[in-house]
Amino acid sequence: MQIDIKIKDCVISKFMPFLKDILDHKHSQYLLPGGRGSTKSSCFGIAIPLVIMAYPNVNAACFRKVGNTVQDSIFSQVVWGINQLGVEQFFHIPKNYATPIEYIPTGQRIYFKGMDDPNKVKSIKMPKKDHYIGITWFEELDQFAGENELRKVTQSTKRGGQLFWDFRSFNPPISRNN
């Protein structure tokens, strides 16, 4: 299946090398600090469906610290990215985040979770035997309790695959130099 996507029309120019790095899997961890309006979340909202379409066994799990913020943030951001890319006909997009977004051609999924209870992550089951969670996105990283909390999640998600992308985005604290 050939999908004609004009990525340069979807992200600001400063993120183009960053997005290419993600798609070429040059690194496994990507940290994007930036203030409101920096388009860091938009970049990940576009990167996730692109990686899903490029790597047929990879699924994604996107996290916010508080569950009731998921719908209007990371879920909406990924839906926006799919629409910006013009590939919405290839995705089943439910009305809310409780049901994962599905990439129809392969059955891959994009899950959305609040981290009110990190143990809930253990219950994510892949739709196919050879599928695995290859993408994790921690939005508003500064709201999480620290690396131990994130590690608890990634120990559950980083299993069964070869390629992993760990996306982290946050607003840096206000400072004189920010």
Please count the other Cβ atoms lying within 10 Å of the Cβ belonging to residue 31. Answer: 13
Kindly tell me if the per-residue pLDDT of 174 is higher than 60. no
3-state secondary structure at position 154:
helix
Query: Which of 51, 52, 56, 50 has the alpha carbon at shortest distance from 5?
Result: 50
Per-residue model confidence as pLDDT tens digits over 86-138: 999 999 999 988 899 999 999 999 999 888 876 667 667 787 888 999 999 98
Q: Which residues, other chains included, contact 112 with Cβ-Cβ below 8 Å and sequence gap of 6+?
A: 61, 62, 63, 70, 74, 75, 78, 97, 100
Per-residue model confidence as pLDDT tens digits over 130-157: 899 999 998 888 888 888 888 888 888 8
